[in-house]
Amino acid sequence: MSVNGHSSNFNREGSAGDTEGGETRPLLGNGSVQTRATGASFASSVFNLMNAIMGSGILGLAYAMSNTGIVGFCILLILVSSLAAYSIHLLLKLCDQTGINSYEDLGGKALKKTGKVLVGIAILIQNIGAMSSYLFILKSELPAAINSFLSTEDTGNAWYEDGRLLLILVTVCVVLPLSMFPKIGFLGYTSSLAFLFMLYFAVVIVVKKWSIPCPLPHNATTLSGNLKISNVSDSECTPKLFIVSIKSAYAIPTMAFSFLCHTAILPIYCELERPTKSRMQSVSNISIGLSFVLYLISAVFGYLTFYNHVESELLLGYDAYLPRDIMVMTVRLAILLSVLLTVPLIHFPARKAVILLLYGGRDFSWLIHIISTLTILSVVLLLAIFVPDLKNVFGVVGSTTSSCLLFVFPGIFYLKISGQPLRSADCVGAILLVVFGLIMGVISLSVIIVTWVKS
């Protein structure tokens, strides 16, 4: 399971030249031919990019739909996914023009050292937010998973019902040792299961829509032991097409968080077999399209199960009504296993960004390696423990770093590097991309902060 926009295994410089008419044509537009051993197939590249796209965001999209309505959600999801595909188009054009195959180096090319630092900071914050969202899932889902496998009804407030304690134990005993490895390539193979887990998740959400009646059962007890009074009328079982409220501000940031894969695009392009811009654009379009379908199915059926009672972390909603359901138990276990093995994977580019920003990417040092690892994991753990709601992670990270990496940076970099006239179609598109990203980010973050202050 690879977090949205966080690729950690694609770092090779090699890129294959394409052959036409007996001549070798370079992938990148710098006039030099680079070689590599073997290219990744088209299907493999689609799979890798989907792993980079799909992650914890899928758990928050049903909540976003409950705050925007079905039609409003669909419009926003189409808009964000289309803009994501277009910003990828701009990055690929820059890749061909400059020969650069990393997001940070594009920032350096466009805005000198400032651009490289800004991209590094954005990637660091994005990865910290992603890791926090994954550990938050562990904190909320692990007690439920343990309880569901135990036969006793009254556990007497056992220690394993404390999500924070379990999170600390899992982080120290599993995540920290795995994150300490200087190289962690073997964990990359576990990410190949991500799509299967997400597919199974979507299937379970669809199937269980008919297992929970509407109106929801009264007086269901939640995981925390509180009594959840569900005085739901039949009218509330009618799906809303458009909803506008202060909570709608979380919708677009959550979607931006869910479609961010831009740091993985250029490295995957360089590893593609017979790499051309149009071929890689097809890879990204198919990956985004398939992710769009899974996101939409999960959001629609999650919303049609709970309506305006959707939890910000979708799986939590099933605890009160299907506490020992086999399918829910297995999908929870799959998600937990995937999350557990993905956090160390995401940690690596975050640590790389820290070392690059603070130490200039100097030669490997165990002291710097250990200090950076402990510092990052400590920050992530504190965020996961004290953040009360997953929507807060999606909202803040999505409206800041996700909007920058998805919309603002690609547009600015294209305008600075391409050399095209401002009236050209792509320059106009780049300007609109930057404007949309800034407006969306500022408005969403402002509304979220105002909501916090009021509450």
Lowest mean pLDDT among 35-44, 95-104, 172-181, 409-418: 35-44
The whole-angstrom separation of Cα 398 and Cα 355 is 24
How confident is the model over 415-439, as a mean pLDDT? 93
> With bands split at pLDDT 50, 70 and 90, how would you rate the model's confidence at 22?
very low
Residue 414 pLDDT > 90: yes
Q: Residue 29 has what pLDDT?
A: 43
pLDDT tens digit sequence for 312-336: 888 888 877 887 788 888 888 888 8
How confident is the model over 424-440, as a mean pLDDT? 93
How confident is the model over 172-197, as a mean pLDDT? 72
> With bands split at pLDDT 50, 70 and 90, how would you rate the model's confidence at 185?
low
pTM for the whole structure = 0.79
Q: Residue 416 has what pLDDT?
A: 93
Instruction: Tell me which architecture the domain covering 18-391 has in CATH.
Output: Up-down Bundle (1.20)
Q: Residue 12 has what pLDDT?
A: 36
**Arithmetic mean of pLDDT over the chain:** 80
How confident is the model over 160-184, as a mean pLDDT? 84
Q: Residue 190 has what pLDDT?
A: 57
Q: Residue 92 has what pLDDT?
A: 93
pLDDT tens digit sequence for 261-311: 888 888 788 888 888 888 999 999 999 999 999 999 999 999 999 888 888
Q: Residue 179 has what pLDDT?
A: 85
Q: Residue 14 has what pLDDT?
A: 37
Q: Residue 186 has what pLDDT?
A: 53
Q: Residue 270 has what pLDDT?
A: 83
Residue 76 pLDDT > 60: yes
Q: Residue 34 has what pLDDT?
A: 43
Residue 216 pLDDT > 80: no
Count of C-beta atoms within a 10 Å radius of residue 215? 15
Lowest mean pLDDT among 116-130, 179-193, 293-307, 389-403: 179-193
**Which comes out higher in pLDDT, residue 348 or 405?**
405
> With bands split at pLDDT 50, 70 and 90, how would you rate the model's confidence at 102?
confident
How confident is the model over 366-395, as a mean pLDDT? 87
Residue 189 pLDDT > 70: no
> With bands split at pLDDT 50, 70 and 90, how would you rate the model's confidence at 362?
low
Q: Residue 425 has what pLDDT?
A: 92
> With bands split at pLDDT 50, 70 and 90, how would you rate the model's confidence at 43?
confident
Q: Residue 38 has what pLDDT?
A: 53
Residue 55 pLDDT > 70: yes
